[in-house]
Copies of this chain bind each other. A is one copy, B any other.
Amino acid sequence: MQNFSISIIGAGNISWHLAKNLFVKGYKINQIYSRKIQNAEAISNLVKAEAIDSISELKNNSDLLIICVTDSAINEVVSKINFQPKLIVHTAGSLDINILQKFNNYGVFYPLQTFSKNSELDISNTPFCIEANTKENEEILKTVAHCLTNAIYELNSEQRQQCHLAAVFANNFSNHMFHIAEKLLSEKNISFDILKPLILETANKVQNTTPLLAQTGPASRNNTITINNHLELLNSSQLEKIYSFVSQNILDYKNGNLP
């Protein structure tokens, strides 16, 4: 969009990817804020923006103000913004749109993806969850999102929070299963490399089938001999609990005991 300008509050992983991609798509980035000026500068230098380390330096000259700070810091940031931005959004999956209700024009611009500064990512597949306090603001956010991605979802706060919860299982918890697997391998001096093709294929499979249909292994076959062998191999009560509960849950779904 010609002459549409954006400022970003926060200099973490989401800020990094949003700023870079919005800049590449031709948006003017005015200011990047971080408590640590070096973090703001690291991004602002890339996208020809001004780096600031105080909210009081934030100018009311942007068409869109994007808050990308960690969930627990948003309220403090909001309390310090003493002007009425043209449009202000947060990017948090778990937070209600109403935390921005002191403003006239506000919304949510939540990219459902795991971002790391040092990991390149094609943002064009990233689902963006959009919510706004008016239909007009929603259209503005959809126009910005369309420049970045093909996947736009209009979700209310309740739906978005459920998405965030689901993402914790799909991303954080599955990643933790990888971590446990790595620990188990290292106990027997086996490289984590051996599991990498399996991990990729696990993710590939559910792109085209449901996780229930993709499921294999001792729990889904109720192979109690292997399950008991595995429980004996685990020398950690925490891991035994996780193994037992997850296995039982797999079997309960398989058998239709759970809705």
Contacts and interface: CB of A to CB of B under 8 A. Distances in A.
Interface string A176-197: 1111111011011110111111
Contacts of A72: 223, 225
Contact of A214 (B175, B203, B239): B175
A105 to B, nearest CB: 26
Interface in A9-33: 13
A234 interface: yes
A194 B204 CA distance: 15
B201 A121 contact: yes
A217 B112 contact: no
A242 B248 CA distance: 11
A178 B190 CA distance: 26
A148 to B, nearest CB: 13
A215 B94 contact: no
Given A162-B188, A194-B112, A198-B114, A94 B204 contact: no
| Copy count, this protein chain | 2
Interface stretch (A40-48, A77-85, A250-258): A250-258
22 contacts: A71-B225, A72-B225, A113-B198, A114-B201, A151-B193, A161-B233, A162-B187, A165-B184, A166-B185, A166-B190, A167-B198, A168-B217, A171-B202, A171-B217, A172-B219, A174-B175, A176-B211, A176-B215, A176-B249, A192-B210, A202-B203, A239-B249
Interface of A: 13, 70-72, 94, 112-114, 116, 119, 121, 125-127, 129, 151, 153, 155, 158-159, 161-163, 165-182, 184-185, 187-190, 192-212, 214-221, 223, 225-226, 229-230, 233-234, 236, 238-239, 241-243, 245-246, 248-250, 252-253, 258
B197 A184 contact: no
8 smallest CB-CB distances across A and B, nearest first, come from A203-B203, A172-B217, A174-B174, A179-B211, A166-B181, A170-B181, A178-B211, A174-B177
Nearest to A155: B190
A47 B132 CA distance: 59
Contacts of A184: 162, 165-166, 169
Contacts of A162: 184-185, 187-188, 190, 233
A229 B179 contact: no
A177 B166 CA distance: 9
A81 to B, nearest CB: 22
